[in-house]
Each structure stands twice: as C-alpha cells, then as structure tokens.
Amino acid sequence: MMMNKSLFLTYLYLLIYILLSSGVILYNKWVLSPKYFNFPFPITLTMIHMGFSGAVAFFLVRVFKVVTPVKMTFEIYATCVVPISAFFASSLWFGNTAYLHISVAFIQMLKALMPVATLIMAVLCGTDKLRWDVLLNMLLVSVGVVISSYGEIHFNVIGTLYQVTGIFAEALRLVLTQVLLQKKGLTLNPITSLYYIAPCSFAFLFVPCIEPLNFLVIGRTGAVTIRVAGVLKDWILIALSTVIFPESAITGLNIIGYAIALCGVVMYNYIKVRDVKASSQIPPETIIPERMINDDDNTRSSSAVDEEAPLMASSRLSHIASSQLTSRDA
C-alpha cells in the first residue's frame, strides 16, 4: 500500500529535523572545543546564529512577501518580545558556553531536566498547578540526572552550571511565551517569530537556522511527537558524540541514570497527552460559561507548555495539541 503523502512528509520533516538538529549541535561542539576548531567565543557564535536567522526572516517577510507581518505595537514589543528575546538569547548563550567545558553526551543527558525546569517555572508563573503524579515523575527525572552526573568521567561543575542555567532560561522563555503573547492575543507563525525575536536576541547578545524547521515539524506532528523525536535525537547524539569526540566517553552509570530520567520524561509526556485529550472531550456548554465569567482565568489555565518547542504562541500550540494529539500519539 502506497504511503499517504501527508504521512510521508511528516516522517521526512522529522528525519530532516533530527539530522539538522544533531548536525548543528555536533558542529557547535567542534567549533567551540579547544581540541578542535578552537573558537572559544560562544556569544559571538550565538550572535551569528541570531543575525543570520533575523536576516533570512527579514527577506522572507519584507522582500519576498512569503508571510504577512502581524500588527506589532510598541507596547507589545516592549512587554512581550523583549523579555522573551532576552531569555531566548540567554538560553542559547549558556548552552553554547557549556560546550567549552562538558561533552555533547553529558549535555544531552542534562537536557532531560527540561520538563522539571518547565514545570517549576510554570508553577511559579501560575500557568500550571503542582500535582503529585507530575511531581513524582519530575523526581524520577531528577534522580536519573543525578545518577548520570555521578557517573560522568569528566564532570565539570562550571560546564554543568552553564547548561542547567540555559535549561532554566529556556523554560522561562517558554512560559513567558505562553503568558505574555497569549494574554495579548498575539499568534506568531514560524517566520514572524524569527522576524521579531531574532534581531532583539542579537541585540541582547551584543553587551539558529534550524528554528524554522522546528516550527514546521511541530505544526505537522504536534508537540508530543516532537518530544519523541527529540528523545531519539538525544540517543543518536550520545552515540555519535562518542565516535566523533573521543573525550565523550560514557559509563554504565551514565546510561543507567539517563534511562531512569528518560522513563520519567516518557511518563510526564503520557500525563500531558492524557490531560490534553481529557480537556478536548469537555462538552462545549461547560466551557462557555467559564469564558464568560473570566476569560483571563481560561487563558491562565492552559498548561500545554512544550519542553522542546521553539518560540510559538501557546494559542497555536493548543490548537496543534487539540487537532493532532487526539489522532496520533517528546
């Protein structure tokens, strides 16, 4: 039976996403590492990424008219785009700096903390509630990461702190995207996201071309599928990094710890899918009165924050979740 064209494109985008994302990470490590290209300037490298992304987005929006820019006021830009860009730039900078100190394999293991960081930030910002089932999953993830860190041969405190800080900056950026943009009723498509945010991030980095593909993959597959693809990508990166970079040796304790953390991530994703499906089955008559009573409460109740998703308004993320996750499956 011939494969459906839409399904074929979905798998094709996932494959390209995994290849390019893995390639960028390995390339960044090669460029920044003192043992290889020896370009120890992570801020400059991140600025190049943002500058290139912003330039491409500008040509697509203003010159080739591929998409129409949204109505952007100074108030929205100052109160939404600027803080989101600041944390986006911070997460990229801290993440790139970590390559100077720790291996690619260990970085991918630490990234298992992303759901934990996102949950903490979401609870602090009031977009999610602390639940025992989710808390136990996050505890499992944390224990796994601690075990993996204990088994790291070349453990480096500075590099670990850089990576963990970058993870929390990215988590806060995701939550702010949900809180600020949705509150303003603003939805940015993949290209306009880069058009507005990349130049501002570039400016912050003054004191990556893979983002559009990330948006495209999420738009076709849903947030959970991209999480699963991200897990597959992490395993591929861990394996490739040990081959390409000899110093990235991993131990049995590394693998055990990461496997434990991965179990927690999988369980967390299952809970999020279950919640999305449950919310999509609520009768409309039970939802409409709540919106009439307090629209802001309905806005704040959305907790579909994606650990792996790039810059995207949560209203679009919710639409993707309701339309994609119910028919399909981090």
Residue 50 to residue 40: CA distance in whole angstroms: 18
Structural domain boundaries, residue 271: 12-325
Q: Which residues of 203-223 are buried (b: 16+ CB within 10 A; e: fewer)?
A: bbbeebebbbbbbebbbbbbb
**Mean pLDDT, rounded, of the chain:** 76
Instruction: Please indicate, yes or no, if residue 330 is contained in any of the structural domains.
Output: no
Instruction: Please indicate, yes or no, if residue 112 is contained in any of the structural domains.
Output: yes
Instruction: Please indicate, yes or no, if residue 3 is contained in any of the structural domains.
Output: no
Instruction: Please indicate, yes or no, if residue 137 is contained in any of the structural domains.
Output: yes
Instruction: Please indicate, yes or no, if residue 6 is contained in any of the structural domains.
Output: no
Average pLDDT over residues 233-239: 79
* The predicted structure's pLDDT at residue 292: 40
Residue 152 to residue 253: CA distance in whole angstroms: 8
Instruction: Please indicate, yes or no, if residue 2 is contained in any of the structural domains.
Output: no
- Indicate if the pLDDT at residue 104 is higher than 80: yes
Q: Give the model confidence (pLDDT) of 158-217 as tens digits.
A: 999 999 999 999 999 888 887 877 777 777 787 888 899 999 998 888 764 444 455 455
Residue 273 to residue 228: CA distance in whole angstroms: 12
- Give the length of the chain: 330
* The predicted structure's pLDDT at residue 314: 35
- 91 in helix, strand or coil? helix
pTM over 0.75: no
Q: Which of 112-116, 126-130, 141-145, 162-166 has the highest mean pLDDT?
A: 162-166
Phi, psi values for residue 103, rounded to 5° = -80, 160
Relative orientation angle of helices 114-125 and 252-280, to the nearest 10 degrees:
40
More confident residue, 283 or 30: 30
Q: How confident is the model at residue 233 (pLDDT cuts 50, 70, 90)?
A: confident
Counting Cα atoms < 13 Å in the Cβ hemisphere of 226 gives: 25
Number of domains in the chain: 1
Residue 45 to residue 57: CA distance in whole angstroms: 19
Contact 112, 265 (CB under 8 A): yes
Average pLDDT over residues 32-60: 89
Instruction: Please indicate, yes or no, if residue 189 is contained in any of the structural domains.
Output: yes
Instruction: Please indicate, yes or no, if residue 1 is contained in any of the structural domains.
Output: no
